[in-house]
Structure 1
Amino acid sequence: MLTAGIDLAAEDSNTAVAWIRWTAKGGMLENLIVGADDTELLHTVSTADKVGIDCPLGWPVPFVDFLVSHHRGELAVAADLSGRAWRRSLVWRRTDKVTHTLIGRPPLTVAADRIAHMAMRCAALQARLAEDGQRVDRTGTGTLVEVYPAASLKKWGLPYRGYKGSRNGTALGELVDKLITAAPWLHLGAFERECRSTDHAIDAVVAALTARAAAVGQATRPGPADLATAAVEGWIAVPNEPLASLIDRSARRTT
């Protein structure tokens, strides 16, 4: 099995892609690119068995309805225009709320936060994939699955915050150390130095690990009640088994 992880950014320079080749003995980081362009991203989704992308695959349905109504001049006036509850009802996806419950912190909101620019790029990538005959299933059952590295790291008992940015190099190195200790079967090889140099690289690796969890049935999926919403808004795959289970006997048949 070949899984890939994409740490998507609005610009190529901060976009990273990691490929992990799996055998019964573990995973080998086969390639890592920091500065991936759209061509590389499209090729990745077309060649890997499962790809985890750190970016929302859709927008909240209430938020989209709100924008359309406002654009048409048909917006119903809310009872409390400054009410926090009203605003939150617009900007959080169903999967954001579920993930918040699972890990104790909400993901960034695609509707009203700085990740909106990369989500626009992600939407364009989905359109390009559809043009090429590979339509994305936003519930995560196809090749592409939405992931959230911070959630994966927390569920696996690893540091999940404080390692991003050039000022946090020490924390980033500690995260890599703890990941290697927790997963001695994961071989970073020649790319270990890159993982210690930029958080984009390690987030791409975590995304590829989470893609493996999703591929072997060890990550959350939308239930029947959430399936229709997830098909539009996207769904975050959060690991629900220990990191070591990615290579346990029950998963080896899928290598």
Structure 2
Amino acid sequence: MRYFPEVAVHLRDYAGLMLTAGVDLAAENKGTALAVVDWSGPTATLTDLRLGVGDDAIAEAATTVDKLGIDCALGWPDEFVSFVVAHADHESIDALSVDGGMDWRRTLAYRETDRDVRAKTGRWPLSVSTDRLGLTAMRCAGLLARIQARGVAVDRSGSGVVVEIYPGASLRLWGFDTTGYRVSAAARELLLTRVLDAAPWLDLQGHAELMVRSGDAFDAVIAALASRSAALGHYEPPPAQHLARARREGWTALPTNPLAALISAPVE
């Protein structure tokens, strides 16, 4: 397994203390969930799961955990930002090489990490430029500023405490069928049963009912698990040629190891 020194500094003592948090972020507090998982014992314990969470609570959590995964794009495509700035300044569209075609529009719609997610999962994530995700990303930008104001450095490429997480893709890469789980409590109940069968070491501390009732709560817990994967280095960081872009646009940490490795595999 690859070793990332910048990740290791947040592990404190792998054999002992470690906390990860997951945030299912929405445009408003309603629909936003926060989960915290304690990995210090032989089991992973869900110590906190809340709905209706505000920015201050999330920013405060960032100061107490080793890794905080946010289910939201942490930035916008470079090409989109340049286009909007140029358009606002009335620059010539010829100078921008604007052809209006679909291929050109996709460069504005998707980040480099979105193309990476597409290559690894076969699915496009929502576009932060053209889908309703943009409203949530605006909130996320303010949230990142609040986190930094509390003394936590934010690197949108994922090196540090904050990391971008995609719960649905994480579940699929761990081998689970995610059909309908975001809209159906019955599908979430079945999926949760399968997750717990694969991860008997996960102690939900009585929060299973909330996870079944709320897709937001469900995804917050999955984000906390995927944050553990990122903290252990079980993901592919942006390649060197895309690192600067990832620090502007964000980078999704997709798990590369099985779910069982979250509890059993030490950092090498």
**Secondary structure in 1 aligned to 2:39?**
strand
The equivalences for 1:95-244 within 5 A come to 95-165=113-183, 168-244=184-260
Name the structure 1 match of 2:28: 11
Please give the alpha-carbon distance, in whole angstroms, between the structure 2 residues aligned to 1:50 and 1:128: 16
1:136-178 residue CA offsets vs partner (Å, 9 max, x unmatched): 100111100000011100100112241113xx11111111111
**Given residue 104 of structure 1, which amino acid in structure 2 is its aligned partner?**
G
Q: Kindly tell me: are residues 174 and 86 of structure 1, through their superposed partners in 2, closer, same or farther at Cα, counting changes over 3 Å?
A: same
Partner residue of 1:89 out of 91, 100, 107: 107
**Secondary structure in 2 aligned to 1:226?**
helix
**Secondary structure in 1 aligned to 2:30?**
helix
Q: Kindly tell me: are residues 220 and 173 of structure 1, through their superposed partners in 2, closer, same or farther at Cα, counting changes over 3 Å?
A: same
1:150–1:161: 8 Å Cα contact kept in structure 2?
no
Give the paired residue count: 249
Over the matched positions of the two proteins, sequence identity in percent amounts to 44
Q: Does 1:43 align with 2:60?
A: yes
Point out the more displaced range, 132-141 or 101-110.
132-141
Q: Which runs of 4+ in 1 moved over 3 A?
A: 77-80
**Given residue 80 of structure 1, which amino acid in structure 2 is its aligned partner?**
D
**Given residue 45 of structure 1, which amino acid in structure 2 is its aligned partner?**
A
Q: Which runs of 5+ in 1 are unaligned?
A: none
Deviation at 1:113, TM superposition (A): 0.3
Name the structure 2 match of 1:80: 99
**Secondary structure in 1 aligned to 2:240?**
coil
**Secondary structure in 2 aligned to 1:85?**
helix
Please give the alpha-carbon distance, in whole angstroms, between the structure 2 residues aligned to 1:96 and 1:41: 25
Q: Which runs of 5+ in 2 are unaligned?
A: 1-17
2:60–2:147: 8 Å Cα contact kept in structure 1?
no
**TM-score, with length taken from structure 1:** 0.94
Q: Does 1:247 align with 2:266?
A: no
**Secondary structure in 2 aligned to 1:4?**
strand
1:24–1:247: 8 Å Cα contact kept in structure 2?
no
1:66-104 residue CA offsets vs partner (Å, 9 max, x unmatched): 0000000004245632x1111001111000000110011
1:66–1:75: 8 Å Cα contact kept in structure 2?
no
Point out the more displaced range, 48-57 or 129-138.
129-138
Please give the alpha-carbon distance, in whole angstroms, between the structure 2 residues aligned to 1:124 and 1:39: 11
Partner residue of 2:44 out of 27, 47, 51: 27
Point out the more displaced range, 93-102 or 241-250.
241-250
2:19–2:39: 8 Å Cα contact kept in structure 1?
yes
Please give the alpha-carbon distance, in whole angstroms, between the structure 2 residues aligned to 1:50 and 1:120: 22
**Given residue 103 of structure 1, which amino acid in structure 2 is its aligned partner?**
T
More helix by share: 1
**Given residue 90 of structure 1, which amino acid in structure 2 is its aligned partner?**
L
Point out the more displaced range, 39-48 or 12-21.
39-48
**Given residue 243 of structure 2, which amino acid in structure 1 is its aligned partner?**
L
Please give the alpha-carbon distance, in whole angstroms, between the structure 2 residues aligned to 1:131 and 1:162: 38
Please give the alpha-carbon distance, in whole angstroms, between the structure 1 residues aligned to 2:85 and 2:260: 46
**Secondary structure in 2 aligned to 1:17?**
strand
**TM-score, with length taken from structure 2:** 0.90
**Secondary structure in 2 aligned to 1:189?**
coil
**Secondary structure in 2 aligned to 1:172?**
helix
